[in-house]
Structure 1
């Protein structure tokens, strides 16, 4: 929309008008007033850079105040669709907080003006969901502080020897009221906030404790345990140093902790390369998780020296078809040519394991090998 010019004293909009447009003040001064018990009350004067009329546009309510040009003004109209598009794309928690504050403002203004038409604000379904996320975030913080998150270990089989070579560490949350909270739900929530960093530290500490317990039980050779690293953790300085500090505190071999990077993060090429270089310098290995899920192409593998590549379970399931088997065979060959090893995920049948053995795949992970279990269950099998 083109800019609009208003002369001094001209009304921009009046109380109870329909909320068609908001405005950005480019030049001049605008006075905002409302009628309180039959008398005009000044709410404020706005200058260049200020927005006016946006609240009515956001919640589609009649204008709750009037706007009048104090001096000659130039205003940029902002269509309600522009707000709607941005609100729809905003974080649902931020959107819910905005609507909550707007509702409280409306209620306060109604009390001030004696407007009995104002109804109590009602939360939309999406806002209720957003506040539930806020509640869950607080409960996750409490669970971290109270050491209420559980760690489970899923075994990784060395196919040729038939021995369990290592485990993947998986975090679980048994909520006292909600029951088992999906890892997808609370990990995604943690990644949306800074919580993923303390969650990652929690996992690191527990993994080192698990390795120490396995060593005390006499497991030899000591298996490796792999833990996942998120995008936000990658951006935190000193990540590898903290890993090494935990390993050293438990007097553990550094190559027994493996770092897993999900394929969706390979676009952070420089960060991952730096992490791999640091890990290799310290004697730790790095695996590329979920390979083949579609986020990356083969290009990043040219410059990222992963020690292991974890094949996504969708490929494992496709091996009962000639084309699927051929693709897996090609990936195994490519992995070996890169000087890496392959772990096939989602192995659920003996036929799948036999095919992987035939294709010279090094490792298998899945329900056939073993489901995620507690450390105590692992120790009890020794």
Structure 2
């Protein structure tokens, strides 16, 4: 808000009232510019309730990278694609996961409006962020329950209808269509149920319908006339349905043929929506569910995947082993596909060896890729039929909605079909996305995962070490171990790219174990070379820290290398230690009992309760480099001073990360920071280079710390 001391009293009062209103608002308001080229949002103003609602200071949000960096990686591509359409639309909203400082990732609704004019090609925007996490959770539970109930109704052998207060049919299941001798629900929905009641029962039916709409359950048997004019006696049970306010808005009717007739016409109507061989929905029912799923995806701002599946070389099985074996193979493959999906997904057989899958309530491209890969792997397992071992395979084409919201249901199926044929051209027994960019994302992740599994065998990982110095003495008191991956074909790959893949696949356990052993081995090697003891700090990921064998791994690394436990420091992030704090405290105490030091990395960027922080057995807190970088700013300096003072008060050492200038170093020394690391002293380097540095240049490092040449 502007400085009220420079305003007339009435204007200042208005601004004060506005600020009070903003503080009470559940939404954070902002304005800024959207760059269509980089897809970044540059905030130039944000309401002051950002701190109370999301845990950030307004000036933090004005950093050009702030918005992008805090979006969940799985949502970033979808969000950027959505807002890229701002040039064509005046107003867009979307929902995505955003990392709050105090509470981690939460769902927000981002409502953005385009303003005129454009400046240097950037779109000027105004918008609002609203936390919708609780609403999303409720919607997800309701959607899953709705999908489950819908499946139960669709497979019920009895007719199920929902009729509104005016007597119009608003829902009907396949068995209900069979009673009316109708193939398409659209021919029935919207019609008055009275239209199908035989004339001699209509007066009685009206009286019973009034009783049902008043809240009384009713059982009644009467005659109906189907769409062909034929009469049928049905038994019905009617029950009222209530809305959220307890008002009766509709009536549920369950009906069945009084004679339970099993003639071919009745069976044909029911089976018009299901495949006779596998019992799966057919193409007609699949299309109906696809329309429902598309509508739900638009309402909930989630993704759905549409998959077209075709078995590879199925004709060879039919030709060599016969159609009976072929049918049993189709039934087994159907069961395997169903086993890979959730109850809220849909699996259908289109005919022959073609299948379809609708995957609902997705939040990332990887969800679809993982399901497709699971289906490919499961179907490819050998199948034994009549002592014949059959090696089946399947090709899958995928498309997503609403990545391109101009697609209708038929176009989605067509695109999935095209992608399936591309998968066959690429070698069969695989999956392929329709959108080239999505393919690139998924293929890049799959390539990293594949190469990660080989990286340890190929000795592609190395450790680099960055010196850590005492600010008082200038002595090197330790090093931080940093993992590097030099992939043999593609060269250096950023840890920011491969570490999340390693964590999601579980490979981080094996890689983390290697880092621990290699760091301890390097300390032993330095000691054998005659260097004084050097403490090495190793970062531990959340997956590693929560693993039940963490302590065993650390002890094994120490014992096998012979390293003194006091020379090993375990670095944990601030957000990690605050998850399940009581369990964390127990683990940290056991580490301290071993003699291992514990430090908190990136301190100040997460959420720490002081009451918990005093209970944590922590040796050191590391001042995050973002605060060191902003020391020249009033707010940055205030935060740095606060963290240093907190460490001193709690009897913890404080290390500053990312020190790059003598001005920063002077500030840290003035306010009592204990240790520092950063490019001002040394870049990370291999173990051999560190050994030479500590042998030949230790005095240079000390002088650089104590006697800066301005």
Q: TM-score, normalised by structure 1?
A: 0.77
CA contact (8 A) 1:96 1:127 kept: no
Q: Deviation at 1:31?
A: 4.1
**Can you list the C-alpha shifts for 1:311-366, whole angstroms capped at 9, x where unaligned?**
00111122223443333222212111111100001100111112211111110011
Residue from 343, 361, 371 that aligns with 1:86: 361
TM-aligned CA distance change 1:356 to 1:367, over 3 Å: same
Secondary structure in structure 2 of the residue aligned to 1:293: coil
Structure 2 partner of 1:290: 602
Asked which structure has the greater CA Rg, the reply is: 2
- Corresponding residue SS for 2:614: helix
Residue number among 206, 216, 227 corresponding to 2:538 in the alignment? 227
Q: How many Å separate the matches in 2 of 1:280 and 1:152?
A: 26
- 1:96 to 2:362 alignment: no
Indicate yes or no: 2:457 matched with 1:137. no
Deviations 1:223-249 (A, max 9, x none): 110001111111211212221222122
Alpha-carbon spacing, 1:60–1:356, altered in 2? closer, same or farther (3 Å): closer
C-alpha deviation, 1:8, in angstroms: 6.6
**Does 2:278 match 1:44?**
yes
| Aligned 8 A contact 1:227 1:259 in 2 | yes
Gaps of 5+ in 1: 15-27, 35-40, 65-75, 108-114
Aligned counterparts of 1:210 and 1:291: Cα–Cα separation in 2: 27
- TM-score after normalising by structure 2: 0.43
Higher relative contact order (CA 8 A, sep 6+): 1
| Counterpart for residue 166 of structure 1 | 478
> Which is worse superposed, 191-200 or 118-127?
118-127
**Which whole-Å CA distance do the structure 1 matches of 2:646 and 2:510 have between them?**
36
Matched with 1:196 is 508
For the 8 Å contact 1:156–1:168, the answer to whether it is kept is: yes
Q: Distance in 2 between matches of 1:165 and 1:12?
A: 82
Q: Residue 93 of structure 1 contacts residue 134 of structure 1 at CA under 8 Å; is this kept in 2?
A: no
Q: How far 1:292 sits from its partner (Å)?
A: 0.9
Structure 1 pair 105/271, CA: closer, same or farther in 2 (3 Å)?
same
1:59 Cα deviation from its structure 2 partner? 5.4
Task: Measure the CA separation in 1 of the matches of 2:417 and 2:638.
Answer: 67
2:630 is the counterpart of 1:336: no
In structure 2, the gaps of 5 or more residues are 1-145, 147-161, 163-170, 185-255, 257-266, 294-303, 311-342, 347-357, 377-393, 399-413, 421-431, 696-710
Distance 1:42 1:105, change over 3 A: farther
Deviation digits for residues 191-234 of structure 1 (CA, Å, limit 9, x no counterpart): 112111001001001001111011111122x0110001111111
Pair 1:306-2:618 in alignment: yes
Change (3 A) 1:77 1:278: closer
Q: Counterparts of 1:1-382 in structure 2 under 5 Å?
A: 4-7=172-175, 10=178, 31=271, 42-45=276-279, 86-87=361-362, 89-90=363-364, 92-98=365-371, 104=395, 119-121=418-420, 123=433, 124=435, 125-220=437-532, 222-268=533-579, 269-381=581-693, 382=695
Aligned residues: CA RMSD: 3.7
